[in-house]
Structure 1
């Protein structure tokens, strides 16, 4: 029954044209990170937290349904007030493509524990108060099939950087590090679980403010799937040797995500 539900809802995602941006991303020369082509990752969102009377970028996230955003569990703190900005490319300018939505419901994975990050389950679902208008600048990413652990596809990491770094959406190619290597004692060791993906860590990696953002994977069907949610990096430096960026592996949680989306539709 669950497999049928997953199949039907994945099919429904195709109706919304998931993973097919109207503006194709430029993947021809991505090496160490660069500005993304405007709106070529239309599912990327900015999760913003309210401080005083103003909102500030705190994490990235991914639109995975008309009213649903996927981000990291550690991005959510009880009592804080959040909003989601879609269609954002340059956070230093009003471009006219931005859409702002309040958050109606927050569902943090029940096994996420901020005191035990290495236990995994670093996921949260956000239900928007209303659907954004789907257009070239706002679209939906595809969810991978459940339990697929071997990516075998081109992976591109996108991040919104706000502050001393460029304010434009960035993209970078992050080679996936094999689980057997990432779990070696001189790498991440036992910290890495089967529900995690290691990527990058040589020249470029995730950093502060990138949390919750997607690890995008181009499937054989030409669609982009969100295979990872940015979870953590080394506490010493963002780009430490043998300490690649760690992502929550979305395919390990596909059924949980779809069940929650269905339950709270």
Structure 2
């Protein structure tokens, strides 16, 4: 009987070493977007009332995928959400190139900015090795463990130098100047959610590309280096400006 009690206590506690506590403060990342529907479940970043940036791993479909803004717990309606259909999807060319992983998503109607929904500025500089950045997305932060999306997760990661990143690449990956790596041994470097958003010094610096840190916790995770894509992003928005309503608010830039 005495042996049985500790076993029962452990079962009731349900606290395994793999339990994941890295939940964001609710609505602390008002630019975070949950893209779902049409076979898609991934993250993105709101950069303008019409536009979202995500990685090529996330493949939303026009009018089949919904962009949910103001989300925290995706399994419950909290009264803060704006659910907007995706109108257009623009992939960086050449599509499926190992050198690029970037996609822009246009909303079918503009986002309404409030305390729960705000855009994140595009980068005015590139991230530097050793800089501390913050990654958010829905999914597990524990390597090699799947978790269905529920509440938004947040991790803190250091940017690592390019050579360190290249040294950890699997043979099937190719280095690109459009990549930046973050996370290292004994730090949080896994968030198992396509398009997870990396913010450094209040600016959008990355969307998740390869989750190396989720398969080997000693390896950094790869993000699209968004400071290299400012011109492309702005050119896409400018091309569509003439077909969008003229009462749009100014885009958030630094």
Give the TM-score taking structure 1 as reference length.
Answer: 0.73
Q: 1:188 aligns with which of 166, 169, 179?
A: 169
- 1:12-62 Cα deviation digits (max 9, x unpaired): xxxxxxxxxxxxxxxxxxxx96111111100000011235xxxxx611000
- Please tell me the root mean square deviation across aligned C-alpha atoms, in Å: 2.5
Partner of 1:19: none
Asked whether 1:206 is paired with 2:190, we answer: yes
Alignment of 1:3-14 (within 5 A): none
5+ residue gaps, structure 1, are 1-31, 52-56, 219-223
Look up the SS of the partner of 1:174 in the other structure.
strand
Alignment of 1:63-212 (within 5 A): 63-76=46-59, 81-113=64-96, 119-145=98-124, 148=126, 150=128, 153-161=131-139, 164=147, 167-184=150-167, 187-188=168-169, 191-202=174-185, 203-208=187-192, 210-212=193-195
Runs ≥4 in structure 1, deviation > 6 angstroms? 77-80
Larger Rg: 2
Task: Tell me, yes or no, if the aligned pair for 2:130 and 2:158 is still in contact at 8 Å.
Answer: no
Look up the SS of the partner of 1:181 in the other structure.
helix
Partner of 1:263: 239
Partner of 2:251: none
**Aligned-residue offset at 1:107:** 0.4
Task: Tell me, yes or no, if the aligned pair for 1:33 and 1:171 is still in contact at 8 Å.
Answer: no
**Aligned-residue offset at 1:111:** 1.7
Q: Using the alignment, how far apart are the partners of 2:133 and 2:127 within structure 1?
A: 14
- Distance change in 2, residues 1:240/1:154 (3 Å): same
5+ residue gaps, structure 2, are 1-19, 141-145, 242-254
Asked whether 1:217 is paired with 2:200, we answer: yes
Q: Using the alignment, how far apart are the partners of 2:22 and 2:225 within structure 1?
A: 24
- Distance change in 2, residues 1:110/1:244 (3 Å): same
- 1:93-152 Cα deviation digits (max 9, x unpaired): 110001011111110111231xx5xx2310110110111111111000010136x35366
Partner of 1:47: 35
Q: How many residues end up aligned between the 2 structures?
A: 214
